């Protein structure tokens, strides 16, 4: 689904805007139990109402928002947790209200490495090209895989059972897990104090040719680099970091 541009009246909350824009989903068929804005993303726990399919079920709504100037000053794109949203920063207060996810039922067999559908041909797992695919994907070996998955001799790996195609339940599970992990990082970052060494998984590039993955924390989003150069890293609290306390 694409994005929708509209005129947003001043003084309205994002929840009020979304309830007006999505009345069937949020006021007739469903009801918002809790909502929050995290950056430019609107999250809500929505309960299905009586008379609707899965009545009583609570699911997560995710809406990407963007503000701009001019008459059409608000753009949004709505989805739910099963759509596999890239943004996974949903607050715990909303996650705690969501209904448990059912177990997956995957009838087809997919390769665990390349996620392609495969079939057992006399003891050999094979993939066959569809009408729109090149014949080069046909065979017992994966056509698409991570470089780290190559065999010792450099050849492509053989298909391996245990994978599955796109699964909305798996997408929702991943969304919830990543949101929980993000919230845990936010909470842990509050214990970081001035003088602590903070190490990020990848180096940052700054103007002037500066580059580093290790900094000394000063305050808020300001850090000190190895050469006493001050830099800002907005949003660092939600990133994966390793914190080293200075020696006593």
Predicted pLDDT of residue 107: 67
| Tokens found for residue 247 | 């020696």
Closest CA to 180 of 64, 72, 93, 79: 93
Per-residue pLDDT of the chain (248 residues; tens, 9 = 90+): 589 999 999 999 999 999 999 999 999 999 999 999 999 999 999 999 998 888 999 999 999 999 999 999 999 999 999 998 999 999 999 999 999 998 877 666 889 888 888 988 888 999 998 888 888 889 999 988 888 899 999 999 999 888 877 788 889 999 999 999 999 999 999 999 999 999 999 999 988 888 999 999 999 999 999 878 899 999 999 999 999 998 76
Q: Give pLDDT, residue 104.
A: 78
How far, CA to CA in Å, does 8 sit from each of 12, 38, 64, 72, 142? Answer: 8, 19, 15, 7, 49
| pTM assigned to the model | 0.77
pLDDT at 1: 58
Interatomic CA distance for residues 79 and 81, integer angstroms: 7
Q: Kindly state the tokens that stand for 86.
A: 């890239």
Domain ranges in the chain are 4-95, 192-248
Q: What's the confidence (pLDDT) of residue 247? A: 76
Q: Provide the b/e sequence for 154-177 (b: ≥16 CB within 10 Å).
A: eebbebeeebbeebeebbbeebbe
Paired sense of beta strands 41-48 and 30-38, if any:
antiparallel
Question: Closest by alpha carbon to 161, among 127, 113, 122?
Answer: 113
Query: Could you please report the per-residue DSSP string of 140-189?
Result: SB-SS--GGGS-TTSPPPBP-EEE-S--HHHHHHHHHHHHHHHHHHHHHH
pLDDT number for residue 51: 86
DSSP codes of every residue in 224-244: E-TTS-EEE-TTGGGS--EEE
Q: Give Cα 73 to chain centroid, integer Å.
A: 26
């Amino acid at each position: 689904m694409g994005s929708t541009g509209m005129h947003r009246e001043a003084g309205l909350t994002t929840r009020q805007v979304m309830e007006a824009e999505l009345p069937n989903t949020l006021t007739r068929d469903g009801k918002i139990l809790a909502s929050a804005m995290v950056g430019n993303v609107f999250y809500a726990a929505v309960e299905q109402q009586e008379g609707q399919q899965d009545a009583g079920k609570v699911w997560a709504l995710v809406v990407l928002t963007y503000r701009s100037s001019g008459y059409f000053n608000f753009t949004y794109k709505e989805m739910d947790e099963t759509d596999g949203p890239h943004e996974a920063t949903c607050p715990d207060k909303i996650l705690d209200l969501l209904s448990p996810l059912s177990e997956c039922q995957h009838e087809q067999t997919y390769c665990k490495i390349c996620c392609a559908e495969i079939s057992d041909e006399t003891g050999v797992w094979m993939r066959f090209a569809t009408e729109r695919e090149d014949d080069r994907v046909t065979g017992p070996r994966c056509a698409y895989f991570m470089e780290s998955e190559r065999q010792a001799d450099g050849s492509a790996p053989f298909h391996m059972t245990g994978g599955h195609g796109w699964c909305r339940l798996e997408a929702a599970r991943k969304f919830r897990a990543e949101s929980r992990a993000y919230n845990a990082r936010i909470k842990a970052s509050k214990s970081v104090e001035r003088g602590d060494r903070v190490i990020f998984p990848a180096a940052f590039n700054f103007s002037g040719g500066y580059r580093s993955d290790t900094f000394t924390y000063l305050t808020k989003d300001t850090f000190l680099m190895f050469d006493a150069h001050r830099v800002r890293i907005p949003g660092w609290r939600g990133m994966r970091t390793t914190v080293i306390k200075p020696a006593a």
